[in-house]
Amino acid sequence: MTVLEAPAGTKTLLEVRGLEVEYGNVRAVDGVNLHIGTGEILGVAGESGCGKSTVANAIMQILRPPARIVGGSIVFQGEDLTGKSQEDLRRFRWRNVSMVFQSAMNALNPVMRVGDQFVDMMQAHERISKHRAIVRAGELLELVGMDKRRVRAYPHELSGGMRQRVIIAMALALSPELVILDEPTTALDVVVQREILQEVEALKRDLGFAVLFITHDLSLLLEFADRIAIMYAGEIVETAPSATLASAPLHPYTQGLLQSFPPLTGPRVRLSGIPGAPPDLRDMPSGCRFHPRCPHCLPENAALHLRQTSERPRLRETAAGHSVACHLVDA
Amino acid sequence: MAQLEPTALDLPLVAARRGINVGRIRVPGWLALLLRNRKSRTGLLIVAFMVVVALISPLISVAHPNDFNILATRQAPSWHHLFGTTDQGSDVFSQVVVGARRSLALGALAGALATVVAAVLGIAAAYVGGIVDEIVNLLTNVFLTIPAIPLLVVASGYLKTRGMWTMIAVIALVLWAFEARILRAQALTLKNRDFILAAKASGEPTWRVVFGELMPNMISRIAAAFVLVFYIALLVDSGLEFLGLGDQSATSWGVTIYWAQVNSTVLQGEWWPFMFPSLALGLTVLGLVLVLAGIDEVSNPRLRTERTERRSRLAALLGGKAFTR
Amino acid sequence: MRWFARRLVFYVFAIWVALTVNFLLPRLMPGSPIAGLLQHLSPAQLAANPGIVQTYEALLGGGHHSIWQDYVTYLHRIAHFNFGLSTSNYPTPVSEVIGRTLPYSIFLVGVAFILAFVIGTGIGMVAAWRRGGFTDSVVVPAFMTVSAFPAFVLALLGLYFLGLKAGWFPIQHAYDNDVIPAWSWTFVSSAFRHAQLPILAIIAAYTGGWVLNMRTVMVNTISEDYVGMAHAKGLHDRRVMTRYAGRNAILPPLNGFAAQFASAVGGLVFIEIVFSYPGVGYTLQSAVLGNDYPLAQGILVVLSVCVIVANLIMDVLNFVLDPRLRTA
């Protein structure tokens, strides 16, 4: 098992150990370990279907049937979430951890005014009059750069970018310690993407929350995240500070990802992708899940090959803050 | 009388699975799917049962349904007369069993005719668009607005003969609009799919695109439409017969209930001439509704109630939740 | 607003079609309509009602005017609410007969169908929210089974078991035989008591459809992002179910209500007949069986208009409840 220690100087806010989530009989998340320190930005990157959104939903305890947590623990500020009562969880949600959903278009109730959706949420967590709540909603909208009169608008009257801002404002309304961004910018164009992320960064500096940033776009993480975890087929395969990951990636999958997008500066390099496709969750490869696509898994190296195809690699720390699950590194 | 309306949403298309082999019998893909789903399996069994009863009715009916027997009138169910006798002494069991033929046939044929009209008009209108679409749409909406039963009541009142084919035609004429709207809506969503555009671009004539490309891809929805109109026609037809507007000399469920009502048997406490045909009717409709629900579930996986493990099934029963924890 | 105007134009058109169908129906049926009618009348009746042949001719054709003339006269009369004279209640005008019976029907339909809708959608909402729970596994199939039976069957069942055997409810007519219709407490309470069984029958017959419909829509709505977000925001479970999921899920069934109203009117006919409830449905059947065509046609027109009015009300309601329509 990895040593789960927060970087020096920060307290551990959230600790996920050995998380296992199943959809019916299919295991979507198979032993995930993560930790986030206060005020830190942790990015989780991976292909579609690797389970990253499932991890986010599990942390927020909003998994829908048939998904359910079947193993592991999620410890937030020292308390294990998996043992809490329904009412405690209800109070925990949004107040301690909030989430910015993937498509803001659909995350707002179409038949309620934007302001009312703020009021709803505030009144669910504290005693506050509707009037005061609306005023606060207006202040929050201004915080994300919108006109506070928009509290009276219906979602369909706002543009996509505006709706995303509303969602962000809502996520910050109760000053949570952790904000989960689940592919927050996928549906937006590049320019708006950048604006939104810069705003989130600025807000983070002001308000001091930690961020769990989930995306398939590694380039975004390299720029915005403090630490990055790479996820593949329901497991974490590598975790490292961003700079280290960019300069010295250890796992072949990470290396493949980094080589998949061209650098804007410097000489032209050959783009190499990762051959093959992610495995079917119902039919996992034995041993290392990445081995069918790994350029370093060759039958010639018999002993290594045997390990790669039969034994699942464990996440081990190789340097300060840098963990990898790979037989090549162990060897 | 559309008490059980179709779902408000269009059904997504079912990709036809290849057939499977049970022993040496080859079961077509669609049937396998329906049999696998619990709701439609039950429904199909019920309907099949009714059809079999209707088919073998001459063999199992004890007496001719219209046999009068003054000596044995108004008898409660007994071993001699399983379902009792009417006020004229006719055997109710025979009436129900033989009546199944006419009721089912009428319902199925009216349903089939209405579905064909609805499919052709709805889909063609959706594909062709323009003024044709406007007209068909208008027609559909008008037929949906004028209340069906009163219209049928008045129309039947004018009819001199009320033979089977006339009834089928009249009922189909009023019911086609139900499904035409839904089929048109789904055809509209398919219209701009690549395979249709490709067919159009390669010069296929309109009728070929509609019948050869569009309709075959809407089979599941058309089948659902047929099931729906079938049971509505069944209800409407027996309803009309109950009102005395059907063919009173024929043998069918509605007519049996009509005579029961007219002769005030219910008010005199004789429940059997009315109860048994009603049960037959209700059971058949229930079967069809289940088949429809099954088709819904097969097409839309979200509707399926997940089979939870045995341990947690009790917990689920006592308070199933929309969200886990 | 423009969409509204379009709907209005359509409704006017629909009324016109209803009127025209009404006009053409007897003329399109095989055989001469008059001949069949005259057969039913005895010479004594003919002598006693001298104008009857003219009335019929004007209404059904076979007279000496051209069809266009007849049509124009017909439309003209309708515009003045003159539906002719009822032959079975000669010489009462049709409009008076309808005026006497329509309120009872509206009362029945108004109360019963709205209740069926409210109860049905409520059950459907809860059933979808708690999948596999008691409501979903027991209540929904129960309603489905009950609603599979035609309305008249359920009415007869109710009549037999609850009315006759248990004696809980009065079984016939709209009010006790010794009560005079008036705005008095005796009348109103009597009318209310008599309406209970028909209302119950209607609810039993029609709730199941709403349950299924709402459940399906709700299941799809639950998987929407905004419902997930509401849950994530830490809102109370019931609030998410009603204000977020339910409030959105109800829109398609509400649309369906207007469309269903036409078949609801059909079911009304059966219920009234079983309970001998003197509404327009009951009157329609006796009119048709008694060859009182002016009355039958008049009722058909009035019913069509009722359906259209109901549709109109639903359109307005839809407009109010769905803000997305307002910016059109």
pLDDT at B309 over 60: no
Position with higher pLDDT, C315 vs B47? B47
pLDDT tens digits, C226-283: 998 999 898 998 989 999 998 999 888 887 787 778 778 888 888 888 888 888 888 8
Chain B residues within an 8 Å CB radius of A86: 325
Q: How many residues does this entry show for chain C?
A: 328
Q: What is the mean pLDDT of residues B176-193?
A: 82
Contact assignment for A64 to B325 by CB distance below 8 Å: no
Residue B203: which region, alpha, beta or left (left: phi > 0; alpha: psi -120 to 50)? Answer: left
pLDDT given for residue C244 in this prediction = 92
Of residues A93, A112, A156, nearest to C233 (C-beta): A93
Position with higher pLDDT, B4 vs C297? C297
pLDDT at A3 over 50: no
Chain B residues within an 8 Å CB radius of A66: 306
Contact assignment for A62 to B306 by CB distance below 8 Å: no
pLDDT at A262 over 80: no
Read off the DSSP letter of residue C144.
H
Closest approach of A177 to chain C, Cα-based (Å)? 14
Question: Between residues 287 and 306 of chain B, which touch chain C (CB distance below 8 Å)?
Answer: 289, 293, 296, 300, 302-303, 305-306
Position with higher pLDDT, B228 vs A330? B228
To the nearest whole number, what is the mean pLDDT of chain A?
A: 84
Size of interface B-C (CB pairs under 8 A): 229
pLDDT tens digits, A8-60: 556 888 888 889 999 888 888 888 888 898 889 999 998 877 888 899 989 98
- Whether the CB-CB separation of A50 and A218 falls below 8 Å is answered with no
Nearest partner of B182 among B130, B232, B225, judged by Cα: B225
pLDDT given for residue C58 in this prediction = 61
Nearest partner of C88 among C299, C270, C294, C272, judged by Cα: C294
Q: How many residues does this entry show for chain A?
A: 331
pLDDT band at residue B8, thresholds of 50, 70 and 90? very low
pLDDT given for residue A258 in this prediction = 84
Whether residue B209 lies within 8 A of chain C, CB to CB, comes out as no
User: What string of DSSP letters covers C49-84?
Assistant: -TTHHHHHHHHHS-SSS-HHHHHHHHHHHHHTT---
Find chains touching chain B: ≥3 CB pairs under 8 Å. Answer: A, C
Nearest partner of A172 among A246, A94, A249, judged by Cα: A94
Contact assignment for A121 to C327 by CB distance below 8 Å: no
**Rounded Cα distance, C307 and A36, in Å:** 62
3-state DSSP call for residue A76? strand
- Count other Cβ atoms within 10 Å, centred on residue A220: 18
Check whether the bond before A7 is cis (ω within 30° of 0): no
Q: What is the mean pLDDT of residues B286-302?
A: 82
Nearest residue on chain B to C283, alpha-carbon basis: B150
Of residues C36, C157, C307, nearest to B160 (C-beta): C36
Position with higher pLDDT, C82 vs B132? B132
Contact assignment for C263 to B1 by CB distance below 8 Å: yes
**Rounded Cα distance, C107 and A115, in Å:** 41
Closest approach of C243 to chain A, Cα-based (Å)? 9
Phi and psi angles of residue C199, each rounded to the nearest 5 degrees, phi first: -60, -45
pLDDT at B9 over 50: no
Nearest residue on chain C to A58, alpha-carbon basis: C232
pLDDT tens digits, C281-323: 888 888 887 777 778 888 888 888 888 888 888 888 888 888 8
Read off the DSSP letter of residue A35.
E
pLDDT given for residue B108 in this prediction = 92
pLDDT given for residue B13 in this prediction = 43
pLDDT given for residue C136 in this prediction = 84
pLDDT tens digits, A167-191: 989 998 898 999 999 887 776 777 7
Closest approach of B306 to chain A, Cα-based (Å)? 8
pLDDT tens digits, C76-132: 777 777 777 676 666 677 888 888 888 888 888 888 988 999 999 999 999 999 888
A241-245, A254-258, A280-284, C21-25: which has the minimum mean pLDDT? C21-25
Closest approach of B173 to chain A, Cα-based (Å)? 39
pLDDT given for residue A133 in this prediction = 92
Phi and psi angles of residue A95, each rounded to the nearest 5 degrees, phi first: -75, -40
**Rounded Cα distance, C12 and A204, in Å:** 60
pLDDT given for residue A178 in this prediction = 92
To the nearest whole number, what is the mean pLDDT of chain B?
A: 77
Q: What is the mean pLDDT of residues C182-194?
A: 75
Residues pairing with A26 in the sheet: A23
Read off the DSSP letter of residue A93.
B
Of residues C131, C233, C327, nearest to A124 (C-beta): C233
- Count other Cβ atoms within 10 Å, centred on residue B231: 26
Contact assignment for B266 to C164 by CB distance below 8 Å: yes
Residue B110, classified by CB atoms within 10 Å of its CB into exposed (0-12), middle (13-18) or buried (19+), is buried
Rg over CA atoms, chain A: 21
Position with higher pLDDT, A6 vs B35? B35
Chain B residues within an 8 Å CB radius of A69: 325
pLDDT given for residue C37 in this prediction = 59
Read off the DSSP letter of residue A22.
E
pLDDT given for residue C216 in this prediction = 86
